[in-house]
A and B are shown apart, each in its own frame.
Chain A
Amino acid sequence: MTAESVPTVGGAATSSTWLPAWFEAWFPVILLAVVGGSLPLWGDSFFGIIATRVCVYWVLVSGLNLVVGFAGQLAIGWVSLLTIGAYVASALTAGRVTPEIPAYVSLVIAALFGAVFGLIAGLPALRLRTFYFAMTTLGLSTIVTQIALAWRSVTGGGVGIPGPSMPVPFDTPWGFYYFTLILALFCTWMTCNVAASRFGRSLVALRDAEVAAEAVGIHKPGLLMTVFLFSGALAGLAGGLFASLQSYITPDAFTFDLSVLFFIAILIGGRGSILGPLLGTAVLTILPEFAAPLVQWSTFLYAVLLLLIVLLVPGGIADLLDFRNRKPLDRHREIRPRPELLGQVLGDGQRGSVLEIKGIVLAFGGVRAVDGVDLQLRSGEVHGLIGPNGSGKTTVLNVISGYYAPQQGSVARDGGDFTREGSYTRARRKIARTFQTPRIVGESSVIDNVMIGATTDGRASFVESMLSLSRHRRDEASLRERGMAALALVGLERIANVRADRLQHSELRFVEIARALMMKPSFLLLDEPAAGLSVDEIKRLGQLIEAISRQGTGVLLVEHHADLIFDICDRVTVLNLGKVLASGSPDHVRTHREVINAYLGA
């Protein structure tokens, strides 16, 4: 591999599709603008009304897509937010609670209400199991309809209430259509921006590799709350538009069927896609209009469709449209890390730092998995942690990473104790790790997986990313450049744009190392990085680890390959039954009688 073939920033050189990268990224917006904008030229007014409906639904679905398709939260009752937005906008313009308010202002207030209730509906997702969250959104949608029926003074009860009517020039059907189309385009553009930002990548990481996401410093509650606010605001706005489109609303208009439509549009479209759900929304909205005899059966057919998608094509339309990943990969791929690039990736390491583990005790029920372990990890050295299966090696790593809080003992860096802080705080302290079974987002590209590693280095806020302001663009350019450098370092830059689930096991191990190095860690915890590698690959891995430590990073290496350990470690700690059996230089440990009896064998 020569230096010339290192791909350019943006990875265009390796994607080799028939379209430029920017076109692919903005395709949903372009498609909607071209098809939607030209509609009055070729469609009649009946079509215009259906297209308006598509746009209104898409305003909601584009936001919900971040919750369902990206974050993987099963929000099945989102119609409740549409209902709230519709009634807020209608009640305000009709002057039911306040003096009459202009339609534009009422839409903004509807969006605000939607955001607040989106957050409330989302709260259970921060702590609860998947089914619980699905159930609470379902419960909310039933309750909101009941309230709409009962609160007559504001909602008009079963009689209903007129929706807001738009002022000139949006008061005609085509005028209103263009109004909703512009909003739909704006929403598509914003969600495309979010999807291509560190926030979008973090959401997908939380969905498919939550533990790894925490290890790189992604704070799940904070991120999810932001997304629920955003998604709720779009749903509330869609509600106001919906009420205006209906021109008169009653609780009957907000059946659970709508929720099912929104949800299935995303599933048909495919998780983590924007084009797919957009097409899904259009198809599901248009189809019943042209199959009048089926109207009664439409929800039943949605249900059948839902079952079929779940059982047969969990990937949705997006998978069918993913031509790039059909191309076969080179079969004989060899991983050749280039440690000489380390300076570029890690920068100037900070030396003279100590990670100190003191007397940690952790029992699961009656089993004392770790029973008073002490360990010191200094920058610039490789520290081996070995021992028989079940001796507590991974548990020690998990305590350092914050997945478990020990019952006794402490973990501190240079005197600063952080034993009981959540796992997402470790990234801030520059402690990175890899996992025994690689925790990779299979549906994302390799480069996206690596870029997740430096999530905490992003400076742009969610709003800046959503609107693609300059700080966001700088973030992306620098993260991508660093990501490509990290991939070149571990020798995987040629497959940067390949979906990660197409990689071999050994390649995933190196992707994890590249992701961990993105953090510029002071301390790196490697959990059996050599498992499943070939002899040659293990040798190169050893060289890479040594080179990393020479840059000033302290490496804690859990491993079963004794050769690797004794080759590259500066110090070795042996665990047995949760206790330290021996600790010291490799030579000391290798000849330690008890270590030979318990672990190494004669």
Chain B
Amino acid sequence: MLVESIISNGLAVGAVYALIGISYNVMFAASRVFSFTAGSVGMLGGVFGSIFIAKMGMPVVAGFLLTLLLGAILGVITEFVAVRPVLKSLDQHLYVLSTLAVALMIQQLTAIYFSTDAVPFPRVIPIEAGIVDQKFWLPILACIVTILGLEYLFRHTLIGRAFLAIAEDTYAARALGLPEVGLRMASYALAGMISVLAGFAAGQLLFASLANGPLLNFYGFVPVALGGMGSNRGAVIGGLALGLFQQTANYFFGGIFSSVAVFIVFIVVLLVRPEGLAGAATARRV
């Protein structure tokens, strides 16, 4: 029972971290920018679901689609407000501050207009709990669907290949005549959708809670940093491993010290291997 609980909780939470990690990666690929909005928008996935379905009584499908739409819009707003103006001077790292500002605004608006406490999330699928409850397998399902979807997009569609071209070499892609700005906005919309999907799918597990914003920001970034930035495979493996590690530590040492353990592992691994466990060497400096 103990092992099952660790595994189901760990994989479910890990899938959420992986999704947020993929969201970081999609934005990074399009713009070389890590955005603090990844986790805050993810938090909104749970909040929107709770508002639309539980409070306003919308059908689950409608509430879900509306949440996705709002996620995409928030992604585009992030690109327009916090990323595009600072792309010129990428070396000054102003994006760290501009995306932090947007994430803080999202957090504060949620605190003022929604709630500062955790609010329960409605059941998404009206079935009896089987061997494994939907709150565990929904995030995992969302993660699998996202990976398959991205795989299809990148391998089999023209737009997906244009994405890859931009991620590989922005200047060359621009010289080829690819609509760089449009594709970047589309990437941010996609990242926003992946983030809210994570929050929505994890609603029953993590509730609709303001506190999820910073937590998802941090724990979603850990797999990206450890798995090597830009690598979705790394994010998924790292996310699931992190989830399992955290839940194991949770059972043996209690919740607080599991986060301390994650933090220590994160710092130690990065100090030993700054490029991540699977990353490449750094670029030339002089």
Contact B255 A76, beta carbon cutoff 8 Å: no
Contact A143 B260, beta carbon cutoff 8 Å: yes
Q: Which of B34, B97, B285 meets A403, CB within 8 Å?
A: B285
Closest B residue to A439 using CB positions:
B286
Stretch at the interface among A278-286, A304-312, A325-333, A457-465: A304-312
Roughly how many angstroms separate A132 CA and B101 CA in the complex, as a whole number?
17
Q: Which of A135, A147, A211 meets B286, CB within 8 Å?
A: A211
Contact A138 B96, beta carbon cutoff 8 Å: no
How far in angstroms is the closest Cβ of chain A from B169? Answer: 15
How far in angstroms is the closest Cβ of chain A from B94? Answer: 5
Contact B214 A142, beta carbon cutoff 8 Å: yes
Contact with A along B92-110 (1 / 0, CB 8 A): 1110111011101100110
The number of residues on chain B lying at the interface, defined by a beta carbon within 8 Å of a beta carbon of chain A, is: 39
Contact B286 A136, beta carbon cutoff 8 Å: no
Contact A127 B270, beta carbon cutoff 8 Å: yes
Contacts A142-B215, A256-B214, A314-B94: A123 and B271 contacting too (C-beta < 8 A)? yes
Closest A residue to B215 using CB positions:
A142
Roughly how many angstroms separate A299 CA and B104 CA in the complex, as a whole number?
8
Q: Which of A124, A260, A307 meets B98, CB within 8 Å?
A: A307
How far in angstroms is the closest Cβ of chain B from A406? Answer: 14
Contacts A142-B218, A310-B86: A300 and B105 contacting too (C-beta < 8 A)? yes
Contacting residues, chain B, for A143 (C-beta < 8 A): 259-260, 263
Contact A74 B93, beta carbon cutoff 8 Å: yes
Q: Which of A130, A147, A150, A296 meets B96, CB within 8 Å?
A: A130
Contact B108 A299, beta carbon cutoff 8 Å: yes
How far in angstroms is the closest Cβ of chain A from B199? Answer: 18
How far in angstroms is the closest Cβ of chain A from B105? Answer: 5
Interface residue A134 (Cβ < 8 Å from any Cβ of B):
yes
Contacting residues, chain B, for A129 (C-beta < 8 A): 274
Contact B267 A136, beta carbon cutoff 8 Å: yes
Q: Which of A132, A138, A211 meets B217, CB within 8 Å?
A: A138
Among residues 298 to 325 in chain A, which have CB atoms less than 8 Å away from a CB atom of chain B? 299-300, 302-304, 306-307, 310-311, 314
> Which of B81, B96, B263, B271 lies at the interface centre, i.e. has the most chain A CB atoms within 10 A of its CB?
B96
Closest B residue to A298 using CB positions:
B108
> Which of B82, B97, B267 lies at the interface centre, i.e. has the most chain A CB atoms within 10 A of its CB?
B97
Interface residue A575 (Cβ < 8 Å from any Cβ of B):
no
Roughly how many angstroms separate A260 CA and B214 CA in the complex, as a whole number?
14
Roughly how many angstroms separate A310 CA and B254 CA in the complex, as a whole number?
40
Interface residue A128 (Cβ < 8 Å from any Cβ of B):
yes
> Which of A256, A307, A314 lies at the interface centre, i.e. has the most chain B CB atoms within 10 A of its CB?
A307
Contacts A138-B218, A307-B82, A403-B286: A131 and B96 contacting too (C-beta < 8 A)? yes
Contact A435 B86, beta carbon cutoff 8 Å: no
Contact B93 A130, beta carbon cutoff 8 Å: yes
The residues of A with any CB-CB pair to B shorter than 8 Å are 74, 76, 123-124, 126-132, 134-136, 138-140, 142-143, 146-147, 149-151, 211, 256, 260, 267, 296-297, 299-300, 302-304, 306-307, 310-311, 314, 364, 394, 398, 401, 403, 435
Leading 3 A-B pairs by shortest Cβ distance: A303-B104, A307-B101, A300-B108
15 contacts between A and B (CB under 8 A): A74-B97, A123-B267, A128-B270, A129-B274, A150-B256, A256-B214, A296-B112, A300-B112, A303-B102, A303-B108, A310-B86, A310-B94, A310-B101, A364-B284, A394-B286
